[in-house]
């Protein structure tokens, strides 16, 4: 773990020296009167499209290619994240958080607002990760926290500044004291009265509350809200001459918000677009390497064997072989189906140690008696009978007394959801595995 960290840091260092030269060149040949805010965030643990279906959007790798391409034509760009990179407090969430930070270093983020989900990891963990992160993390209204600050950057003609505050809505449960967003913003504005400041707000909460804040503080010209939308909003919200938008979940799009200097030298909103990260964007070698390193961490720590967060069940899992003797016909149908080969798909994609995939591509992974790695539970490396009918030990011991679950369509949909199986149609799919 340590040695790996060192190599990554060196890589980052070399690359950022290279990059600072590029930005210097851009700055000296500056002609554009346009500035762009590029917005991402709300990954919620989604590092890459899983590949279960074609046409999936997003992934850190494509994002990197998009950014490299975009920055060529748009020197005045500020790249920011609204956070919520992960959504939990397991070991895997922590590894993921670190992985996304590394990828964001590679992409040269300017700043990130910490979301409620990030804060699950706790201040100690977040602080520990701080030094490996090349950009500041903000939680501007969390009192006495290391993140109670704003972000400030010189802009265009050197006299201008963009200042960003990131606040979390009221009544957020946390061990630290939280300042009311209004009070926090008031204090920041009081302490920074210089002219030519362009204020931007990252808000973790409801859009309607963000709108009220912008009404109360019209000096905020741009607000970006993190409130778990599935799809990007069609239009921006206008409040006076300020605008607001919200970031969709899953890292599938990059938001481009364009502001322009008008004749009286004020920055005014021009337009906004959400670019879908589809197959058009190539994989980035650097990010692919970071993702492979992450998979190695999962493998080295054997997260496929860990019991963290697993449930207990009355009966225990046995594997499909245990059903063969009494249900031969059903067994044959199953054996010929893709369910029987679901684990091979993970091996092919080098993801067979990733709990995120194992929940649907193995037997009973959510339970203590379910899949625990191929060395211990080879017979569970499949979507088996018990993935649909439930754990079988009691039924096998007394078939007539203990009956098995007869699954309905909604059981299928726990795995065949719109993201992983967009063309799922029960009648058609059941036909393929009828037994």
CB 145 within 8 A of CB 114: no
Among 249, 254, 346, 381, binds ligand HEC (CB under 6 A): 346
Q: Return all residues near 375 (Cβ < 8 A) that are at least 6 apart.
A: none
Binds ligand HEC by CB under 6 A, chosen from 129, 229, 261, 330: 330
Residue 206 near residue 182, CB atoms below 8 Å: no
**Least distance CB 428 / ligand HEC (angstroms):** 8
Q: Does 354 bind ligand HEC (CB under 6 A)?
A: yes
Instruction: Tell which one of 197, 327, 379, 394 touches ligand HEC (CB under 6 A).
Output: 327
The answer to whether 156 touches 196, Cβ cutoff 8 Å, is: no
| 387 and 363 Cβ atoms separated by less than 8 Å | yes
Candidate ranges 77-85, 126-134, 280-288, 351-359; the one touching ligand HEC (CB under 6 A): 351-359
Does residue 142 bind ligand HEC (CB under 6 A)?
no
* Residue 421: alpha-carbon gap to chain centroid: 20
- Whether 386 contacts 318, CB under 8 Å: yes
> Are the C-beta atoms of 217 and 223 separated by less than 8 Å?
no
88 counts as binding ligand HEC under rule CB under 6 A = no
How many residues bind ligand HEC (CB under 6 A)? The answer is: 58
Whether 406 contacts 354, CB under 8 Å? no
User: Contact region for ligand HEC (CB under 6 A) — 17-25, 222-230, 295-303, 328-336?
Assistant: 328-336
Site string for ligand HEC, 374-413 (x = CB under 6 A): ---------x-xxxxx--x--xx--xx--xx-xx---xx-
State the Cα–Cα distance between residues 177 and 179, nearest whole angstrom: 7
* CB nearer to ligand HEC: pick between 137 and 357: 357
Residue 146 or 336: the one with the smaller Cβ distance to ligand HEC is: 336
- Tokens 């799919």 belong to which residue? 429
Nearer to ligand HEC, 52 or 138 (CB): 52
The interface with ligand HEC within residues 227-286 (CB under 6 A) comprises none
- What's the Cα-to-Cα distance from 62 to each of 67, 148, 382, rounded to whole Å? 9, 32, 30
The angle formed by the CA atoms of residues 177, 180 and 184, to the nearest 5 degrees, is: 95
Q: Which of residues 342, 353, 372, 373 is near ligand HEC by CB under 6 A?
A: 342
Angle CA(41)–CA(47)–CA(50) in degrees, nearest 5? 130
Enumerate residues 6+ apart whose C-beta is below 8 A from 37. 77, 78, 80, 200, 222, 224, 255, 256, 257, 259
CA distance 304 to 266: 55
Q: Give whichever of 68 and 356 is closer to ligand HEC, judged by the CB atom.
A: 356
Q: How many CB atoms lie within 10 A of CB 215?
A: 12
Sole binder of ligand HEC in the list 32, 313, 316, 345 (CB under 6 A)? 345
> What is the distance between the alpha carbons of residues 385 and 321, in angstroms, rounded to a whole number?
9
Listed in sequence order, the residues at least 6 apart from 245 whose beta carbon sits closer than 8 Å to its beta carbon are 39, 223, 224, 225, 233, 236, 237, 255, 257, 272
Of 184 and 385, the one with the shorter C-beta distance to ligand HEC is 385
Q: How far is the CB of 351 from ligand HEC (least distance, A)?
A: 4
- Residue nearer to ligand HEC on the CB measure, 115 or 392: 392
Residue indicated by tokens 């600050």: 149
Residue among 25 and 328 whose Cβ is closer to ligand HEC? 328
Binding to ligand HEC (CB under 6 A): which residues in 37-66?
50-53
Residues 287-326 that bind ligand HEC (CB under 6 A): 318, 320, 322-323, 325-326
Taking the complex as a whole, the smallest distance from the CB of residue 186 to ligand HEC amounts, in Å, to 44
Nearer to ligand HEC, 189 or 429 (CB): 429
- Interface residue with ligand HEC among 19, 417, 418, 425 (CB under 6 A) is 417
In the bound state with ligand HEC, the residue whose beta carbon lies nearer, of 34 and 356, is 356
- What residues make contact with ligand HEC under the rule CB under 6 A? 50-53, 318, 320, 322-323, 325-327, 330-331, 334, 338-339, 341-342, 345-346, 349, 351, 354, 356-357, 359-361, 383, 385-389, 392, 395-396, 399-400, 403-404, 406-407, 411-412, 414-417, 420-421, 423-424, 429-430, 432-433, 435
């Amino acid at each position: 773990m340590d040695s790996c960290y060192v190599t990554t840091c060196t890589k980052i260092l070399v690359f950022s020296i290279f990059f600072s030269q590029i930005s210097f060149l851009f700055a000296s040949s500056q002609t554009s009167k346009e500035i762009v805010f590029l917005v991402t965030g709300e990954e919620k643990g989604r590092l890459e499209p899983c590949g279960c279906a074609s046409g999936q959007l997003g992934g850190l790798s494509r994002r990197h290619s998009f950014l490299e391409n975009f920055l060529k034509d748009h020197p005045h760009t500020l790249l920011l994240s609204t956070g919520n990179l992960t959504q939990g407090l397991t070991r895997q969430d922590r590894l993921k958080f670190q992985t996304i930070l590394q990828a964001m270093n590679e992409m040269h983020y300017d700043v990130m607002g910490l979301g409620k989900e990030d804060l699950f990891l706790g201040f100690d963990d977040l602080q520990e990760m701080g030094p490996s992160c090349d950009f500041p993390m903000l939680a501007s209204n969390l009192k006495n926290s290391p993140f109670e600050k704003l972000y400030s950057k010189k802009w265009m003609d050197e006299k201008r500044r963009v200042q960003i505050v990131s606040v979390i809505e009221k009544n957020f449960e946390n061990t630290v004291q939280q300042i009311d967003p209004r009070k926090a913003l008031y204090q920041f504005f009081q302490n920074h009265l210089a002219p030519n400041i362009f204020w931007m707000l990252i808000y973790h909460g409801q859009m309607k509350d963000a709108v009220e804040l912008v009404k109360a503080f019209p000096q905020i010209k741009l607000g970006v809200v993190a409130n778990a939308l599935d799809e990007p909003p069609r239009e921006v919200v206008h409040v006076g001459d300020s605008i607001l938008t919200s970031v969709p979940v899953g890292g599938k799009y990059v938001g481009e918000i364009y502001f322009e200097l008008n004749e009286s030298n004020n920055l005014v909103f021009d337009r906004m677009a959400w670019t879908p990260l589809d197959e058009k964007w190539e994989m980035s070698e650097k990010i692919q390497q970071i993702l492979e390193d992450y998979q190695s961490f999962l493998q080295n720590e054997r997260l496929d064997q860990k019991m963290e967060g697993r449930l207990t069940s009355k009966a225990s899992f046995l594997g499909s072989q245990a059903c063969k003797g009494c249900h031969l016909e059903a067994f044959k149908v199953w054996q010929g189906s893709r369910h029987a080969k679901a684990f091979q798909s993970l091996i092919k994609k080098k993801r067979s140690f990733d709990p995120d995939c194992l929940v649907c591509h193995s037997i009973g992974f959510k339970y203590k008696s379910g899949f625990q790695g191929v060395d211990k539970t080879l017979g569970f490396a499949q979507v088996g009978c018990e993935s649909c009918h439930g754990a079988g030990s009691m039924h096998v011991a007394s078939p007539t007394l203990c009956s098995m679950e007869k699954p309905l369509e909604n059981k299928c949909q726990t795995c065949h959801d719109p993201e992983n199986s967009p063309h799922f149609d029960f009648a058609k799919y059941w036909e393929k595995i009828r037994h």
